[in-house]
Amino acid sequence: MTTPTREEIERGLAENRRAPGGAARNAHAEALAGAAEASGDTALFRAALDNLINAYLYSAESPKLLVPFARLLQEYDKDPGSFSESATHSLFWQFKWVATAIGNSPDIPLESAAGWLDDMERRYRIAGYSERPVREAQMWLADVTGDDERAERAFRAWRGAERDRMSDCQACEDNSQGQYAALRGDDAQALDVWKYVLAGERVCAEEPHRVLAVSLLPLLRLGRFDEARSHHLRGYRLVRGNESLLPSVGRHIEFCALTGNESRGLEILAEHATHMGPPANDRDQLVFHGGVLVLLRRLRELGHGQSPAVPYDGVPHTVSELYDSLLAGSLDSARRFDARNGTTRISDRFLTRIGREPLVGLLPLGVRSPALPSTTSTGSAPAPAAAPVETGSGDLTRLVDRARAARDQGHPAADALWTRVAALVDARPADAVDPLISADVADHRALAAARCGADDAAELLTAVRDRYRALGEAERAALAQLRLATVAAQSGADPAEIKESLGLAMRAAEALDPTDPLRTRRIALAELASIRVDSYLRSVQEPARTAGHDHAPGAEHGHGELSAELTSFVAAYAQTLPDLVAEAEELLGRVALAQGEPERALPLLVSAARRGIDAGRPWIAVDPLVLRAGVLSSLDRLEEAEEAARSAWEHAAEVTDAETQGVVRLTLVDILLRRANTPEGAGESGVEEAAEHALTAAHWFDQAGLSSDGGAQARLLLARSYARTGRTADAAEVLQSALPDLLEHGEGQAVAAHEFLGDLLRELREWRPSAEQYLRAAEIAKGWEDLRPQAGFAQSAADQLSAADLVPEAVAAYERALQLHRQAGGAPVAEVRILRSLAWLGLRSDVTEAAVTAARTGMEEAANVLACALAVDPQARELRAELAQTWHQLAQVLDRWVTSREEAADEAGDEPGEAGVPGDAVAAPAPGSLDAPEAEALRLEEILLWERAAGLYAELGADHIQDRLQCLNNAAWTEHELGRPQAGAARISALIDEIRALPEGDVPEWVVPQAERIVAGLLS
């Protein structure tokens, strides 16, 4: 193998420093250090050791940095003078990493660890550094050895010591001090210490990443759930896939396990499955595996012990198997720490952690996670743990009475009550149960089968009808017969069969004893069912009957006949059966909407809701109120729409149907967000309320099994709410989780979702991922007749690629966008901005004559595009402003060229236009250099361009005063370079006089003082 040269090693070190942290970077750094040592070049070897220390630090193998650091320290002790000031500072700074590394490895004896810290203290004192980092390291060593008194003394000394160049950044210190408070049970103090980091006022390479993770449980314990949710969403984005931040990943997994989000925790675990192997950093792996163990224990308790987890050490494991393996390995590591430290503190803390119980039953996170598989054979949800369990016959009787009362009232809780009754009945011998109770349980199960369209629903209902008849319960039998007719219609039976079944149901109702208080209700139910079914049958038969024939407007699908029948029903039962009349009026409202008459529908929906409320059945009002809210919203009557939606939400308190709960909240969210854009809306508070409802709506849709439908829409609105209140990272995380579902909602929705996510990522300065989203949107829009959306997305992608310094990719995207804009036409501003961007991209790597020529050509082309557009609309303000900006930027291009040539000449010792050597010999000019006349001509052209731009800005008025001042400032300082400071000052002074003559308030107050400072600088 060829020995690498010094240049190759240096190039390898430069590449390694830019590489992402991890095992691959470490292995490369190790090879480079070996090659540098073999080269015999001491300076190169020191650089390689420094690089290796840094590589280990930002990986899961940080304890390994002790060996290269010891070697580097030896080199320093041999010849301190060979270390530069920066290299010496770096060495002493790395001592702090060593202090951390010795705490993370149980194989380093306690005496050696203390010796390292003593040496650190001695060297810092000699070098004149503060004792602050030393005291922090001593505090943590005392903490893990159980010497709390010593730890507290070190903590106070740390806090009291002066900060200097060797102190950790304030964000890292806040992290440590907050963790120290949390370990001592003071969550409120910890969060107070962390507040500046959490607010983004103190940041570094790994903060707020770590603080967001350690703050999760303190926030939960203090009941600050919304903050905890946000910290999880923000924080996990920052640590995902980062090997050096695995402890933080573990904390996020633990958070999920303790908030009822086990499926989310399992998802995060799967994303980090490759990091589950034997530890390279015992302490970090202990923290990571601790969080995983909390999750695995919860999954076992929920009955998922035999479900697949993730591989461990290359071998597939179930949840229980992985729990056992990780627990054994983690306890071994913890006991090794204890053996070294002479205390059980590490083991005690670890066992306390993995035994934690959930801190909240369920904290909806907003993000989409796959549901855990059902652990029951029937798939039915278990009764709530808090529900009392009836055991005796008296308990069963009372429960049946409650269930029958709820059933008769049509209360949403009836199903849950009958489910509990059924469980008790099933647990008893059949002959020990009252036959009527058994029939009622069978009725409950048959009705559930009918609702979900089960194949045996008709068979079950027939058996229930016959049982009720045998027991003399004619009223219940009549109801079962009516349900049979409904099932026949739902199953698409022959119309004659459906009508016959309806007839049987009506006759059964009419045959009830006239004194039966429910006879009228059963007859009315049969009538209403007949009206519905007849309407359905007409709609099926209408297309065939009316094919090729004209028919009266408004009579489509028998709407006119249906309206008449419903109106007659309302009139007949308005005084006796308000709940059924409410149902009929709601249907009348829907018919009116189908006929395109919203104004006729609205009072019907109001009446339907009112009747349900007045009848003591507020849950009946929910559907008509939601529908009314939607209609009013479509008519832009947002205040009334919000009132209706809020009323629906309030009356939905007793509704148990998860989908309905989701729909109610989603309706309110949409209206709140629309109202927030209006002057009379609630503004930010309305958006914050919308976020709360959207979060809950997403949860309800998930419970209903509609995560990909209503759940996706709820998450989209949740993301929009978060974005509008400045929670950009939260919004991005929620939207990314919903994106796969939203992409299935049609091209328009898919494009909008990609664009929205691109906007969010752009705001987070995640340039490349943002560009990817815009490009995906452009790809979907490729087949659209209108080319403008595709062009706009390509341009947005190019902007982000440029920001990411991906120049070739940005150029390609800009050129594609330019082509599309020109094909679509009518977008001169977009064309011009692309041309200007391409001009600047050409100057990104090197300012050569060819690049400047190309940039000038691009700017001039942009000016021509604007000139053509202005010929059509000379007074277009936006076009004129863009023209001024184009002249301004062309002047900047020329300035960049002249300045770069002057700098190159200075570096070469070649002053333009002057002899560089004595006598008659003249030094050869640097390639591409400018002589004095060329430079002056370009400077004069710059001034002319800035004058033209300023003149155009002046025509556009005070709104562009800042742009105008910038142009005049540039022109003035260019005059100064040409030896004409008075001329430059005169330009600015004239602007000052002009501004002073304007009415007060037309121009910002800062402009004149700023201009006066420019004049003073020019003349000084």
Question: Does residue 539 surpass a pLDDT of 50?
Answer: yes
CA distance 3 to 25: 20
Q: What is the percent of the chain where pLDDT is above 90? A: 78
> How does pLDDT run across 995-1009, given as a tens digit for each residue?
998 888 888 889 999
User: How large is the average pLDDT for residues 239-249?
Assistant: 92
Whole-number pLDDT of residue 390: 43
> How does pLDDT run across 858-878, given as a tens digit for each residue?
999 999 999 999 999 999 999
Q: Which of 367, 378, 370 is nearest to 449 (CA)?
A: 378
pLDDT band with cut points at 50, 70 and 90 for residue 22: confident
Q: How high does pLDDT run on average in the chain?
A: 90
- Residue that is written with structure tokens 């951390």 in the block: 100
How many angstroms separate the most distant Cα atoms in the chain? 132
Q: Which residues contact residue 312 at a Cβ distance below 8 angstroms, ignoring those fewer than 6 apart?
A: 276, 277, 322, 325, 326
Phi and psi (nearest 5°) for 318? Answer: -80, 175
Whole-number pLDDT of residue 556: 54
> How does pLDDT run across 504-534, given as a tens digit for each residue?
999 999 999 999 999 999 999 999 999 998 8
Whole-number pLDDT of residue 387: 36
User: How large is the average pLDDT for residues 722-738?
Assistant: 96
Write the burial class of residue 152 (CB in 10 Å: 0-12 exposed, 13-18 middle, 19+ buried). middle
CA distance 815 to 794: 9
Question: Does residue 243 surpass a pLDDT of 90?
Answer: no
Whole-number pLDDT of residue 95: 87
Question: Which DSSP letter does residue 433 get?
Answer: S
Question: Phi/psi class of residue 435: alpha, beta or left (left: φ > 0; alpha: ψ in -120 to 50)?
Answer: alpha
Question: Does residue 552 surpass a pLDDT of 70?
Answer: no
CA distance 211 to 635: 48
Compute how many other C-beta atoms are within 10 angstroms of the C-beta atom of residue 625. Answer: 31
CA dihedral 657, 658, 663, 669 (to 10 degrees): 130
Amino acid at 738: A
pLDDT band with cut points at 50, 70 and 90 for residue 908: low
Whole-number pLDDT of residue 543: 55
Whole-number pLDDT of residue 385: 33
User: How large is the average pLDDT for residues 704-721?
Assistant: 96
Whole-number pLDDT of residue 394: 67
Whole-number pLDDT of residue 375: 61
Question: Does residue 812 surpass a pLDDT of 60?
Answer: yes
Question: Which DSSP letter does residue 362 get?
Answer: -
Compute how many other C-beta atoms are within 10 angstroms of the C-beta atom of residue 908. Answer: 15
Question: Does residue 551 surpass a pLDDT of 80?
Answer: no
CA distance 372 to 260: 11
CA distance 536 to 499: 12
Residue 317 tokens, joined: 């494991």
- Residue that is written with structure tokens 């609105």 in the block: 717
Whole-number pLDDT of residue 1: 56
User: How large is the average pLDDT for residues 4-29?
Assistant: 90
Q: Which of 652, 751, 750 is nearest to 693 (CA)?
A: 652
CB-CB contact of 869 with 828 (8 Å) = yes
Question: Phi/psi class of residue 683: alpha, beta or left (left: φ > 0; alpha: ψ in -120 to 50)?
Answer: left
> Quick check: helix, strand or coil at residue 294?
helix
Question: Does residue 922 surpass a pLDDT of 50?
Answer: no
Distances in Å between the Cα of 615 and the Cα atoms of 574, 604, 657 are 12, 17, 21
Whole-number pLDDT of residue 744: 95
Residues paired with 308 in a beta bridge: 318
Question: Does residue 359 surpass a pLDDT of 80?
Answer: yes
Question: Does residue 20 surpass a pLDDT of 90?
Answer: no
Question: Does residue 413 surpass a pLDDT of 90?
Answer: yes
pLDDT band with cut points at 50, 70 and 90 for residue 177: very high
> How does pLDDT run across 122-165, given as a tens digit for each residue?
999 999 999 999 999 999 999 999 999 999 999 999 999 999 99
Residues paired with 207 in a beta bridge: 204
> How does pLDDT run across 262-311, given as a tens digit for each residue?
999 999 999 999 888 766 678 889 999 999 999 999 999 999 999 999 99
Question: Which DSSP letter does residue 639 get?
Answer: H
Whole-number pLDDT of residue 915: 36
> How does pLDDT run across 59-79, given as a tens digit for each residue?
878 778 888 988 999 999 999
Residue 907 tokens, joined: 């570096």
Whole-number pLDDT of residue 866: 96
CB-CB contact of 295 with 254 (8 Å) = yes
pLDDT band with cut points at 50, 70 and 90 for residue 103: confident
Q: Which of 692, 603, 666 is nearest to 640 (CA)?
A: 603
Whole-number pLDDT of residue 681: 67
Q: Which of 597, 593, 595 is nearest to 627 (CA)?
A: 593
Whole-number pLDDT of residue 909: 60
The total number of residues shown for the chain amounts to: 1020
Give me the half-sphere count of Cα atoms (radius 13 Å) on the Cβ side of residue 339.
10
Q: What is the percent of the chain where pLDDT is above 70? A: 93
